[in-house]
Each structure stands twice: as C-alpha cells, then as structure tokens.
Amino acid sequence: MKRLLLFTPMKPLLLFAVALLAPDLRLVATEGYAIQTILTGSSPTSSRNAKWKPGDGLTLEVSGMDFLADGKLAVAIRKGEVWLLDGVLGAPDKIRYSLFASGLHEPLGVLREGDSLLVTQRTEVTRLRDTNGDGVADEYLTAARGWNVSGSYHGYAYGPKRDGLGNLWVALNLDMGERADNKAAWRGWSGVMGPDSTFLPMVAGLRSPCGLGANTAGDMFCVDQQGTWIPSTPIYHLRKGAFFLNPEGIASQERPDSPLKLSAPVPNKVPYPEALRALPEMVPPAVWLPYHRMGRSGTDLAVCAAGGKFGPFDGQFFVGEFTDAKVSRVFLEKVAGEYQGAAFPFLSGFASGVVRVLFAPDGSLLVGMSSRGWSSLGTQAYGLQRVRWSGETPFAIQEMRAQPDGFELVFTTAVDPASAALPASYTVKSYTYLYSNAYGSAEIDALPLTVTSASVSADRRRVRLQVDGLRALYVHELRATGVRSTAGTALAEPDAYYTLNRIPGRP
C-alpha cells in the first residue's frame, strides 16, 4: 500500500481499508505513559477567550509549535494562522486561545527567536513581531528566501530549526503532481538561513522532509517519507555536501552555489548497499524505520532533554507518525564517527495523524495533529494531545548498541538472568531494500541470524549478544520475546530495529 504525503488532497481511501491492508498494526503502549487530550476536532469551544463569537470553532491543524518566554505555546496551523495558547500545561478547560498572526501561506513550522516568531511559509521564512504589546503580530518581515515556488501543490517548506552552532535549518519538499519537473531552485534540498535573508543550500536528495530537529550534541536531523527512490522512512543526519536518496531535485546541483555535484550516474534497481558503493556522494540514513512495523509516514522528531522527567529516555529522539497515529523512539550512537542506531515502538492511539512533536518545559511531550491528507488511523480531524510519564519506569530495551560480533542491549530495569542469558530468548534477522525509482520497496535479501551466546552484566541491566553473520548497511531486526524482568514480566515492546551502517572495528 502506498503511503501518504502530508497535506495532499484527500484520496478516495476508506480508513477500514488501511487497517485491512496492515494486519500487523496493533496498539502500542509503553507502560508508565498516558495520553491527555488538550483539544481535538470534537472538543467544545467553551474554553476560548471572551472575543470568540458563539459557535466559533478553532480548526487546530497543528503544523508548528514552540514555547514563548512567558510560557505560552505558539501554534501554527495549516490554514495560515498562528495562535497563542495560554495555560497549555494546566487543565485543558482553563486554556485561553488568542490569534497572533494570519494571512500566511501554509506555514509548516514555527520557532521562537528572542521577541520574534520565525514561521516558514511556502515562499519564505517570515519574522513575526508584536511591537506594541497588544498580543497580535503587527510586523511581518522576510527573514530568509531564495528558493523558487513552482505552483505544484507539494511545494512545501519546513522549519526553521536551530542546530548547536546556531544555524537555522529549512527543508524543501519536492514538487509533485502537475508542474512537477523540479526545475524550481532547491526542491528536495535542505539548507540554512544565511545573512541578508539568503538561503544557503547544504544537502540534496530529499523527498518530503517534513520534520527537522537537533540532537543533544547539536547535530541536525531530518525525517523524510517513503516514496519514489525512498524504500522506507529514513532519518538523516544533515551536513554540508551530503546526497541522500531521491535524485528528482538534483538539477539544482548545476547552480553555482551548490555544495555538491554527483560524480557518477544515480544507480537504479539495485540493492541499497550496492547503490551506496556506486555513488560516492550518497550517504546512508542514520536509521531506517521499517515499513508497517514502525509506521508508514514519519513526520517530525524531538530530542528528549527532560532531565528524567519523561522517564529513562533522555538523549533519544521521539518521532511522529502520520498514518498510524503514533510516536516511536530512536536511540543513536556514533560508530567510526557516523551516526547509526535503533528504532523502538513507543506509543500509539493518538486522536489524529501526528504532524508535530515538542517537549514542554515540564518534561511532557506535546503532540500536534491533523488528518488533512490521506487517511490516518486517528479518528479526529485535528488536535493537540500531551504525553505524560507517571513516574513508573517501564521495563523496556533502553538502548541497542553495535558490537564487533553482535549487539549490547541496555534495559531500563534489571532483567531475570536465567531468561536473559538464553540465546533462545532472542531472534535476529537482517534485510535491506531495493533502491529504485519505484514507490517504496519490500524488504529484500532477508536472512535469519544465529544468536550464539547471551551474557548478562553484574548489574543485570545489560546483555551482550553474540550474533553470527552481521552485515553492514543492513537493518538488523531483534525480537527479545523470551526476556523477563526480575519481577517476571515480559517486555511490552520486545522489538528493535538497528540500522547497522558500520560494524565496529571493521572497514
């Protein structure tokens, strides 16, 4: 089944058909976490401010979020507005809503910078300011431009997001549908906001790079979406001169300010590891999110830096997913100087398609949603929900780290050594994808691997697995269904998916 692109016109696809075609979908719920509804498509309007007329409603199709210095939440919505929500971390019926800006062209990101809000529209990044203190923006200034807009309905722009060096990154969707020749400058590229309102291109090979975010080290990452040339949802580490997966916008490499030029033709219809060897500028994703298992349309990512207020997952990314209305978790590590890591299921059952995720100052996770586009498993048209940790540490695989001869698993709580030391408690297989101009790819060259030993650490928090047949540039899928905690409980989510771009200690 083909996966959505955000904000496309509605297709004649019934939601029950989505479920029938994805029989492996199931409710994911990491213990100790609960979803609180702030506003959805069916919420009443009684909590809004006194200026609202009777019967007025707010279609909160969230497309960007950031907190202001005074604690208000700025929310961009797809239909061209920015709203301020006061009291969003309190009782939902006490929140006050006020319109801050309007007349924007499909804004798909918002970021606070000093006393301003930076909002990315299709044509530019706009700086919004309230200069007279009345709570409404009265200054709309161009902060960055330099990419062209063709009129294709997929000509979106996302961001900005700030990296650890202070650079503000923007990502540009490929044009699709009518007028989709991608001859407009920098379609399918990402870059930074430069001086004098310029756009400085950095990275090529993107398709629908809906979500940007920096990790705790300050490096910038991006979630793209499966489609032509992209076998499954990837998460990229963005850096100057990289080419990733989709060449449909590569014509901009001929422009004088391009940071790269491909040295060989783009291969087609070959296994992905072979494509990487054929094209030196092509860089692998840090993590693949396998189709169906981890979702079908990743949209955004936010790093957890909550200081323990969101449980044992500080430093990890939480990734939004549109079609399956859920949030996943990603652990990253560096091997030979490059990022790679593992993806884990986390939480599903959100009210609508997840578009934006943002950690709040109190450590909770805000989830902004819209089902405008293709069908989502969420039952509402839009909304804002909040994920809170109860304080109970879940029994989960916290980290999965690559080793020269296998993997090391780090658990959130102590394991039962008898079950964790059994090789039979684990299964591992590896696979890759076909790199081609087709829409997505099945898993190919799949191979079951043998776990030859499992060694439990003295503190019972770590298990070292020796695995025969590791393969670089393959996804390694782990199931730890036999592992139990010291209390005898099984893992609620025993699955992990490690993208093994490099095997430690090997070329």
Each of the 507 residues of the chain gets a pLDDT tens digit; together they read: 333 344 443 332 223 333 333 334 446 778 899 999 998 886 544 344 445 443 456 789 999 999 999 999 999 999 999 999 999 999 988 999 999 999 999 999 999 999 999 999 999 999 999 999 999 999 999 999 999 887 787 889 999 999 999 999 999 999 987 667 888 899 999 999 998 899 999 999 999 999 999 999 999 999 999 999 999 999 999 999 999 999 999 999 999 999 999 999 999 999 999 999 999 999 999 999 999 899 899 999 999 999 999 999 999 999 999 999 999 999 999 999 999 999 999 999 999 999 999 999 999 999 999 988 677 999 999 999 999 999 999 999 999 999 999 999 999 999 999 999 999 999 999 999 999 999 999 999 999 999 999 999 999 999 999 999 999 999 999 999 999 999 999 999 999 999 999 999 987
β-strand pairing of 495-500 with 338-348: antiparallel
Order the strands of the 125-129 sheet from edge to edge.
Answer: 110-113, 116-120, 125-129, 139-144
Which regions of 145-204 does DSSP assign to beta strands (E)? 157-162, 168-172, 190-193, 199-203
* Positions of CATH 2.40.10 in the chain: 61-136
Q: Which CATH class is domain 397-500?
A: mainly beta
* Positions of CATH 2.60.40.1220 in the chain: 397-500
Question: What distance lies between CA 247 and its chain's CA centroid?
Answer: 21
Q: How is residue 503 written in tokens? A: 């095997």
Instruction: Could you please state the CATH topology (level 3) that the domain comprising 61-136 is classified under.
Output: Thrombin, subunit H (2.40.10)
422 neighbors 494 (Cβ within 8 angstroms): no
Separation CA 135–CA 121 (nearest Å): 21
406 neighbors 470 (Cβ within 8 angstroms): yes
Model pTM score: 0.92
Residue 119 to residues 107, 129, 409: CA-CA distances in angstroms? 6, 11, 41
